[in-house]
């Protein structure tokens, strides 16, 4: 019952996701969430670490795009120096902008992975679109009641993931 919420891979941070590993999976393009996946809500532009990660992907020939539920102003500013295909106010788990980003990159569901930090928007959207999905731990949650509530809802899903990886599926 959790299948559409289960990531294929679960890592601490995007820096654990290497170009070599992606290429070994046949992944040539990435659809990325921004907030709490690449940087915190408080970072308007890529951090040096994020930039180095992007540079590594570019060097390996892996394309990158952004699909965010945040505002256009935020996404455009973050993407200004990178100039990747980017979509804001995407309403994930709707997959319309994921499809647009894949068209922009000339990729398909077999060679595209989604990377995000939230189960019910990012993972669900990626799975609905038929992509390989990487979940990373949120860098820093906004400490609102709403976010903490959502995190609690995610616990059984993450347990199911651990169980699946443990070979009980």
Q: Which residues bind Mg ion (CB under 5 A)?
A: 33, 35-37, 117
Q: What angle do CA 85, 86, 91 make, to 5 degrees?
A: 140
* Residues 9, 42: Cα–Cα separation, whole Å: 26
Least distance CB 122 / Mg ion (angstroms) = 6
* Shorter beta-carbon distance to Mg ion: residue 30 or 111: 30
* Shorter beta-carbon distance to Mg ion: residue 37 or 79: 37
Q: Which residues pair with 63 in a beta bridge?
A: 29
Q: How many CB atoms lie within 10 A of CB 155?
A: 10
* Shorter beta-carbon distance to Mg ion: residue 28 or 50: 50
* Shorter beta-carbon distance to Mg ion: residue 8 or 33: 33
Q: 74: buried, middle or exposed (CB in 10 Å: 19+, 13-18, 0-12)? A: middle
Least distance CB 15 / Mg ion (angstroms) = 16
* Shorter beta-carbon distance to Mg ion: residue 8 or 35: 35
Least distance CB 41 / Mg ion (angstroms) = 9
Q: 34: buried, middle or exposed (CB in 10 Å: 19+, 13-18, 0-12)? A: buried
- Tokens, residue 33: 């969430």
Least distance CB 114 / Mg ion (angstroms) = 11
Least distance CB 158 / Mg ion (angstroms) = 15
């Amino acid at each position: 019952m959790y299948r559409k919420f289960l990531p294929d891979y679960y890592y601490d941070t995007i820096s654990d996701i290497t170009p070599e590993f992606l290429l070994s999976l046949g992944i040539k393009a990435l659809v990325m969430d921004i907030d709490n996946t690449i940087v915190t809500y408080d970072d308007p532009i890529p951090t040096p670490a994020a930039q180095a990660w992007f540079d590594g992907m570019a060097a390996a020939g892996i394309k990158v795009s952004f699909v965010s539920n945040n505002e256009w102003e935020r996404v455009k500013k973050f993407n200004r120096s990178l100039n990747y295909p980017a979509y804001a106010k995407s309403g994930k788990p709707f997959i319309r902008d994921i499809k647009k980003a894949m068209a922009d990159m000339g990729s398909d569901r077999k060679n595209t992975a989604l990377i995000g930090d939230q189960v019910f928007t990012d993972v669900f959207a990626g799975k609905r679109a038929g992509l390989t999905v990487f979940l990373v731990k949120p860098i820093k949650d906004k400490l609102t009641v709403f976010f903490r509530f959502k995190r609690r809802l995610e616990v059984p899903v993450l347990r199911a993931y651990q169980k699946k990886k443990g070979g009980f599926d």
